[in-house]
Structure 1
Amino acid sequence: MMQNMSQSLHSHRALLLPFRHSNRHARPCRAVTPQVRAGLVLPQNPIGIHSGVFVGDWKPQDAERAIKGAKEAGYDLIELNLSVPEEVDAKLTKELLDKYDLKAAGSLGLSMATDISSSDEEVRQAGIKLLTGAIEALNTAGGQDFVGVNFGAMDKYRKPLSAEQWKTCAKSLKEVAQKAADYGINYGLEVVNRYETNILNTSYQARALIDDIGMDNVTIHLDTYHMNIEENSMEAAVKDAEDKLGYIHIGESHRGYLGTGSVDFEGLFRALAETGYKGPLTFESFSSVVVSPSLSTTLCVWRDLWEDPDDLAAKAHKFIEGNWAAAYQLCARPKAWTKPT
């Protein structure tokens, strides 16, 4: 009996552990295959992918390349880069999404010139205008989640967060989140590392800001790349977010192939399963192979961590699907009975 139990736990753990590889681009040699216990119904979380895995621009041919690639790799959702919303043909995007039966989310990062936490009213209004345009584009494309660093500049601040900055940020977010609510869109605040904002570096801080905003459609967007830098643990970050967790970016510590870096995916998926997370699980990865004029330099994408977007996308999907299934069935396993004391 003990031998069978040991074999069972080893089988589940094999699904949860990342794969290690030694070749130059650290490509996984095999994919995770879900092993779902008979009769167990998994939650239908959409598995998404960032458009930047496939393309840097959003010209008609790029849009179809990305959407088709996401569908062929098995994804349910594609996250659109809305940093320059006027360059996104939202109507065409909606047609392509319908053609390939795919859902959409949208994201961006504000700059110092569009920082809605700024005390400069001209800068603040420029940010609100940009965010409004992005929300409108996402609505036209049929998306329901608007995420990213949409609360301040995605840049390295040279001063710590001030009470005035926090207050201005909350005031601005009430305004733009209301515009999102009018379209039935969730407004997800992405918690990122200290080098990309001085406002939200932890899940706990995001929860506090949401309490000050006081709007039901404002949620927390966690990203494993950033959590790996700032949080005490994956579990703690997920549990700090509680019921406000609405979106997850699944990314490796070096932004390359999943399972080849230092991110604790076992802890992440276990916490998501234990808390009953029902939102998207979106893969995000960047390489100098795909250059985005609005993102690559901002995110300091200097290395080619992968060369084949389709291979990367397919293996990432299997990794997410397999690890989510394994974590969920472990969580759903009936607890052992113990005699009451």
Structure 2
Amino acid sequence: MGKLGIHSFVWTGGQTQGDLEMALEKTAEHGYRTIEFAYLRPELFDLDRLARKAQSLDVEIGVTMGLPAAKDVSSEDPERVAAGKAMLRDAVQAVRDIGGNKLGGILFSAHMKYDRQPSEDGWKNSVEAIAETAESAQEAGVDLVLEVVNRFETNLLNTTAQGLKFIEATGSDHVRLHLDTFHMNIEEANPAAAIRLAGDKVGYFHIGESNRGYLGDGTVDFGLIFDALLDIDYQRDIVFESFSSAVVDEGLSRACGIWRDTWTDSDPLAAHAKGFIERGMEEARRRRATNARA
């Protein structure tokens, strides 16, 4: 696999420059080699300083985000679509300016619970917006990965199959899927089979437990997940994601339904996750070697 990473929301809600720099230091201290930040508004943060800090710690940066309703590129409202396209362009530039290597998340719609099915025109608007964003991302040297999430956070891409159809429609080789075990556990009949279906179109991978807490404390069968990642020869980043209202702000807690905290102390959570993922991948390699000899 590629680098093992951690979401900055394990460390901080990220309201200040100091918060983000602390998250970088904690990430490096725990031996993670990449960090995921939420969208960094250039007017609020010193991106150059953050980039230098990351380079000094040998930590790579990825950025994920969700669009607000007023900038929903899957809308039928031309003004909302145009505003969403502009936000995506700005996000690509911010990732480039911070020295980041990927932009992911819910880039194809608003991050919210919808009260209707997506329309055909809205789907087409979204495809067009992502195709345009892919061009600017490729020019900027930034990977573009679309997160397939559960029905309560978008109405557009809930399954890997839907994601594959969508990226094919963009006509771009630069768009890949961002899969997440938390969301797959809700939406996919067989998450491991979905990983194999996506194959080399998986561009980014989130490891998260069904209850958003400690890995192994929920219902995700990670053994099957790790086996599937080996089967597709996944060589890109794996990033641990977990949320607690003890750390993240009220807005994210509302958006992701963090109504109870499965943890409050970041350090033991991060240490446990790193060991869990490394052991899980090593056990999967041993199973593969044993099966090859049988």
TM-score of the pair, normalised by structure 2: 0.96
**Cα contact 2:34–2:59 (8 A) shared by 1:** yes
- CA offset at residue 128 of structure 1? 1.4
Q: CA deviation at 1:60?
A: 2.2
**Structure with more relative contact order (C-alpha pairs < 8 Å, separation 6 or more):** 1
Equivalent residue number for residue 205 of structure 2? 248
The 3-state SS of whatever aligns with 1:116 is: coil
Render the CA deviation track for 1:34-90: whole Å, top value 9, x for unaligned: xxxxxxxxx4x2001011110112422111210011111110100011064543321
Structure 1 residue 141: Cα displacement: 1.4
1:1-341 alignment runs, 5 A limit = 43=1, 45-82=2-39, 84=41, 86-292=43-249, 294-333=251-290, 335-336=292-293
Structure 2: state its 5+ residue gaps.
none
Measured in 1, the distance between the counterparts of 2:255 and 2:30 equals 27
Q: Give the aligned residue type for 1:120.
A: D
Quote the Cα distance in structure 2 between the aligned partners of 1:97 and 1:198: 35
Measured in 2, the distance between the counterparts of 1:68 and 1:49 equals: 12
Counterpart amino acid of residue 131 in structure 1: L
Q: Name stretches of at least 5 consecutive residues in structure 1 with no aligned partner.
A: 1-42
Give me the whole-angstrom Cα distance separating, in 1, the residues matched to 2:257 and 2:122: 26
Task: Tell me which moved more, 287-296 or 196-205.
Answer: 287-296
Cα distance change of structure 1 residues 242 and 76 upon mapping to structure 2, 3 Å threshold: same
Q: Residue 91 of structure 1 aligns to which amino acid in structure 2?
A: D
Structure with the largest fraction of helix = 2
Distance 2:282 2:103 in 1: 26
CA offset digits 1:180-228 (Å, max 9, x no partner): 1111111101000111111100001100001100111100000110000
Mean alpha-carbon deviation: is it higher for 197-206 or for 127-136?
127-136
- Give RMSD over aligned pairs: 1.5
Structure 1 segments, 4+ long, off by >6 Å, are none
Amino acid of the residue matched to residue 173 of structure 1? Answer: I
Q: CA deviation at 1:334?
A: 6.0
Count of residue pairs the alignment pairs up:
294
Specify the SS of the correspondent of 2:186: helix
Q: By how many angstroms is 1:92 displaced?
A: 1.5
SS state at 1:335 partner: helix
Following superposition, the deviation at residue 297 of structure 1 comes to 2.1
Counterparts in 2 of 1:243 and 1:330: CA distance versus 1, 3 Å: same
Measured in 2, the distance between the counterparts of 1:76 and 1:332 equals 27
Q: 1:177 to 1:293 in 2, by over 3 A?
A: farther
Take 1:326 and 1:143, find their aligned partners in 2: how far apart are those partners? Answer: 31
- Matched-pair identity in %: 41
Scaled by the length of structure 1, the TM-score of the pair is: 0.83
Q: Is the 8 A contact 2:73 2:129 kept in 1?
A: yes
Measured in 1, the distance between the counterparts of 2:115 and 2:68 equals 14
Match for 1:284: what amino acid? E
- For 1:103 and 1:241, how far apart are their aligned partners in 2? 25
Change (3 A) 1:333 1:275: farther
Shift of 1:285: 0.4
Deviation per residue, 1:110-148 (Å, 9 max, x gap): 121111111111111111122122211111111111110
Question: Take 1:261 and 1:77, find their aligned partners in 2: how far apart are those partners?
Answer: 25
